[in-house]
Amino acid sequence: MSCKTRSLPAWMLALGIAGAWLVPDRALSQSPYYEGKTIAIIRGGGPGGSGEFQVRPLATYLKKYIPGNPHVALEFATGAAGRKAANQLYRAKPDGLTIGSAGGGVIPGPILGLPGSNYNIDKFIWLGSTEIGNPYIFFSRKEAGLDSLEKLRRASGIRIGAHAVGHSVYVTGRLFARVLELKEPRFVVGFTDPELDIAMANAEVDARTTSNVDTLLRKDIAEKLHFHATIMNPKGKSDARFANLPDLERFTKTDTERKVIDLFRAFQYPRWPLHLPPGTPKELVQILREAMAKAFKDPGFHEDFRKLMGREPTPINGEDVERAVKELPREAEVIALYKKLAESGPLPPR
């Protein structure tokens, strides 16, 4: 049996040959979008310090996992506790080439109505965070003799040290004082963290809070202190080293008080959130989220992070940050109480 083949008409062959010449190379072998491009990470603060040190290792390893191996550069935008950088990112072109690293202050800004918060946190696209916040511990100097909650509550005029008004150490100091019902506490502000340690040692203040739990547990420091209570972060996750301390939520009396603590936790949970401008295409979001997740698992990232920050990273992905933002308590009475705790003046009555 013989088979007959039918030859294609000459015009079809000519069209096919012409089409092959007309199809661009990119369609035949798609080059990665990020090839030859530069991604700018806008850091909300100046060079040096934790803000830069936590993101620099990420910048190094992020490009390793982005198809096209783009250059990744850090840029600095100081002002308004990171809110200036957040404003800049909010207006940036949504082309996947600008990533925000404004710091923990980016989330509280619009919720609390802080000046210069000209952005909507619900419209940012979250990529992840290099760390989650640590628990906050309330403690006193041992020489003050406040070795139990009962003695702490009976004492009057305890001097609680803090940084500036509105700082997380100030807010938590007032939060512990109010919920634990301390008598006529006095808040002494204006310290840096090292200065506050010296003030405790010199009996200039009696108590304070901190989230620097690794330093707190150094033997030469811990033996001079009494630990009283903690704010778990995230909620329900106790630090094994402070498992014997009660969580502050246990002492709350109202749903509003509990939600104020939840609000503080949520502000601290994504410690160093990274985000994209509103409207960034989904395919670019997926590329960057996947690359960031892989970078977070890279042993080299962990090693470099430890060298710069002195501790292990505790990264979370973009979906986790997005969920935390969505679940923020936003009731008017909760915001009002939080703002009173963050301001100067007497503690609001219970």
pLDDT above 70 as % of the chain = 92
Which pLDDT score is estimated for 9? 54
Query: Looking at residues 177-186, what average pLDDT do you find?
Result: 98
How many Cβ atoms are within 10 Å of 198's Cβ, its own excluded?
Answer: 12
pLDDT digits (tens, 9 = 90+) for 269-319: 999 999 999 999 999 999 999 999 999 999 999 999 999 998 899 999 999
pLDDT digits (tens, 9 = 90+) for 309-323: 988 999 999 999 999
The domain ranges of the chain are 38-132+270-330, 136-267
Which pLDDT score is estimated for 220? 85
> Is 0.85 surpassed by the pTM of this model?
no
Which pLDDT score is estimated for 133? 86
Confidence band, pLDDT 50/70/90 cuts, at residue 20: very low
Confidence band, pLDDT 50/70/90 cuts, at residue 26: very low
Q: Give the span between the Cα atoms of 212 and 55, in whole angstroms.
A: 19
Exposure of 107 by Cβ count < 10 A (0-12 exposed, 13-18 middle, 19+ buried)? buried
Q: Tell me: domain 38-132+270-330, CATH 3.40.50.300, correct?
A: no
Q: Give the span between the Cα atoms of 112 and 221, in whole angstroms.
A: 35
- Omega before residue 234 within 30° of 0, cis: yes
pLDDT digits (tens, 9 = 90+) for 217-259: 888 889 999 999 999 988 888 788 888 999 999 999 999 999 9
Q: Is the pLDDT of residue 36 over 70?
A: yes
* φ/ψ (deg, to 5) at 59: -60, -40
**Long-range CB contacts (< 8 A, 24+ apart) of 246-253?**
246/149, 248/138, 248/175, 248/176, 248/179, 248/180, 251/179, 251/180, 252/179, 253/350
- Looking at domain 136-267, its CATH class is alpha beta
- Any idea what the Cα angle at residue 218 is, between residues 212 and 219, rounded to 5°? 150
Q: Give the span between the Cα atoms of 41 and 59, in whole angstroms.
A: 8
